[in-house]
Amino acid sequence: MNNDPLISAEKQHVWHPFTQMQAWCAPDHEPIVLVEGQGSILWDSHGREYIDGNSSIWTNIHGHNHPAINAAIKSQLDKVAHVSFLGSTNAPAIELAQKLAGCFPSGSLARTFYSDDGSTAVEVAVKMAVQYWQLRGRPEKCRFVAFENAYHGDTTAAASLGGVDIFTSRFASIHFPVERAANLDAISSLTPDCLAAVIVEPLVQGAAGIRVWPPGMLRSLRGWCDANDLLLIFDEVLTGFGRSGRLFACEHESVLPDFLCLAKGLSGGYFFF
């Protein structure tokens, strides 16, 4: 039995993601309370040391407590913490968008739309793809193709695209219909008329257990999308910012998507991206 008031408040008031709360709240379960980090090391409230082996789920790519990031945040905080992007703009947002565009050949992926996190990045790409086809006079193109075992986040549209049952099956009744493909061969048998876009985690499906796609897959997929009038969405929420050895996983096959979804590494693990 744990009499720590913090643990007792935790067990009464906090709900954790993808966690069986009955087991979590059991009297003999002692949750790890993290209090400090430095580089790849985290410490808990008992002073025990942990290696943050998955970079706090693929987000913290520069290490905890990084002096340059800390200094930048502190300096910004002394000016203003948050302003709306609706009807105004600000230098950090402009500079970041310019830097991101600079990662790609000029004219491609030139514009950044800021959302909240990986799931909402996917939501935005989905909505933009639907809008694109409406404006092109093809409103019937509003369905999406996603792969088996894909993970694209937990908001409703993103979860509709996901193919890992444990994350999505309970909400199947409110998901929109998605054409699900096991691989490239299955994609090429689809009728493209009503399809807006294909979404894929390039190079590797992360949440599915680090499942690597065969080499050449992205290039072939790009070719099929171009030949059949479909947009291509790369979800690089996991792979982005160096995780695959290149800045972006799509660079391995020199293939560009129409939409690139970024989040985890973009936040350095400091923000809710």
Ligand X SMILES: *Cc1c(COP(=O)(O)O)cnc(C)c1O
202 binds ligand X (CB under 6 A): no
CB of 153 to ligand X, least distance (A): 3
User: Per CB under 6 A, which region of 26-34, 91-99, 104-112, 116-124 contacts ligand X?
Assistant: 116-124
Strand 143-147 versus strand 195-200 pairing type:
parallel
CB of 117 to ligand X, least distance (A): 3
206 binds ligand X (CB under 6 A): yes
Pick the closer one to ligand X by CB: 192 or 240. 240
Q: How many CB atoms lie within 10 A of CB 176?
A: 12
CB of 239 to ligand X, least distance (A): 7
User: Per CB under 6 A, which region of 35-43, 73-81, 112-120, 185-193 contacts ligand X?
Assistant: 112-120
Q: Are 217 and 250 in contact (CB under 8 A)?
A: no
Q: Which of 61, 125, 263, 266 binds ligand X (CB under 6 A)?
A: 263
> Using the 8-state DSSP alphabet, how is residue 64 labeled?
B
Q: Which of 37, 118, 163, 257 binds ligand X (CB under 6 A)?
A: 118
Sheet holding 34-38, edge to edge: 34-38, 41-44, 49-51
Pick the closer one to ligand X by CB: 206 or 257. 206
CB of 116 to ligand X, least distance (A): 8
152 binds ligand X (CB under 6 A): yes
Q: How many CB atoms lie within 10 A of CB 115?
A: 17
SS (H, E, C) 135-182: HCCCCCCCEEEEECCCCCCCCHHHHHHCCCHHHHHHHHHHCCCEEEEC
Q: Which of 66, 130, 153, 222 binds ligand X (CB under 6 A)?
A: 153
Residue 188 is inside which H or E element, if any? helix 184-188
3-state secondary structure of 40: coil
123 binds ligand X (CB under 6 A): no
Q: Which of 237, 250, 255, 266 binds ligand X (CB under 6 A)?
A: 237
Number of residues that bind ligand X (CB under 6 A): 15
Give one DSSP letter per residue of 203-237, joined into a string. Answer: SEETTTTSEEPPTTHHHHHHHHHHHTT-EEEEE-T
207 binds ligand X (CB under 6 A): yes
3-state helix, strand, coil in the chain (%, to 5): 35, 15, 50
201 binds ligand X (CB under 6 A): yes
**Residue numbers of the site for ligand X (CB under 6 A)?**
117-119, 122, 151-153, 201, 206-207, 235, 237-238, 263-264
